[in-house]
Every structure is written in C-alpha cells, then in structure tokens.
Chains A and B, each alone.
Chain A
C-alpha cells in the first residue's frame, strides 16, 4: 500500500519570503500522480498543483512550484513571495495511475500547517 509522509506538522514564513514544504511517499508503482491541496480555515480543499510521475519537468503554478525527485520519492512544494492568504493546512496526496491495479483514491499525508507572519 502507498503511504505519504509530511514530516513538518507546522511551518511559518514571513510575508513576501519563500517557504518549502516537504513530502515523501512510498510506492512500488512506476506511474502515478502527486498533488498538493490547500485547506484554509473555511475547510474547502483546494487543488494547488499536480505532477505526473512520467514527466521529468517540475510543475509550476504562478508562485507555487514543486521539486519532484522520483528516485528519492520526494515531492516538495515551494511557495514564493508568500502572502497572508497562503496561510492554511497543506496536504500532499498520491494517486495511482490507471493500469497499475490500484484504487483511484487519493492517499493523503497528515498535513503541514503554514502560518504567514506579516
């Protein structure tokens, strides 16, 4: 079974600075997808960014980018120019690709609470 580990329960960053959230995962599959979701106090789960395992290029979405290291099974999220609205719980998630024989469910880490200081 796949597992996702987020080793930082809490992180803080100054407004306008850069912060990196860590995520590692364990799988024997060769093809899969990785995601970062944001959960603000409103509790809505919002997709931040996704990465296909077969792509070597790291995904970017505006101020959000990932460092995907497939061999190391590492998938970190970098937030540049942090804003007060970035304060939230961030969840790393894994999903098997079709044809791997696994479920389509998302397997989540425990989350990292990000505080942004003005």
Chain B
C-alpha cells in the first residue's frame, strides 16, 4: 500500500530552535507539495517541486523557511529560527506530475513552538 510518509509526527520545540521536517513521497511520484494547516488560515500551499526543482514557493516565508529535495525520495522543510506563529500542522503531498493528477497526502507533522 503506497503512501506518503512524514517524520516526525509531532514536534515540540522552543522559540529560536531549528526545526526540520521530512517527507518521503510515494515511489515514482515526481511532484511534492508542502502545505500548512492552521485554525486561522486553513490549508495553504507553502511550496512545491517537480523532479526536485522548485516550481512555486510563493507561499513560503523566505527569511526563515527553506524547502529542498536532496534526492527523489526525500523532501525537507526547515524553519530557522522557529517562532510561536509557526505552530501548525505541516503536510506533504505527492503526485505523478500529470495534468490529471491527484495529490496524496502524508499524515502531517504537528509543530508546536513554545
């Protein structure tokens, strides 16, 4: 049963610390999306990649957030330094990169910044 995996599932950290979230897309998927879910803003795209190259990162705060794909099986989202307003659930989703594509979501990482 192919699925997107994300680690850690939950993360509690203190303000100012670096946070790294990891995502393993479904094998064979070449498009990876990062979304953030908060009570106030709902679900919003942060960035997405195709074949490891960023296509749209307009939703990501550039001063503290960075997203990369070191290889085709790993996507990372880093926050440095973290702030309380970054507390949210961060979802990774992957797709085949087709025009008819459906995005399949991972279980999310719940981040709490104290």
Q: Which residues of A contact B (CB under 8 A)?
A: 33, 35, 37, 42-47, 50, 52, 91, 95, 97-99, 103-106, 108-111
Contacts and interface: CB of A to CB of B under 8 A. Distances in A.
Contacts of B104: 47
Interface of B: 31, 33, 35, 42-45, 48, 55-56, 59, 89, 91, 93, 99-105, 107-108, 110
Contacts of A110: 42
Contacts of B108: 43-45
Would you list the 4 A-B pairs with minimal beta carbon distance, nearest first?
A: A45-B105, A105-B45, A98-B99, A108-B43
6 contacts: A43-B108, A50-B102, A103-B45, A104-B33, A105-B33, A108-B42
A75 to B, nearest CB: 16
Contact of A103 (B43, B56, B101): B56
Given A42-B107, A104-B48, A47 B102 contact: yes
Contacts of B103: 95, 106
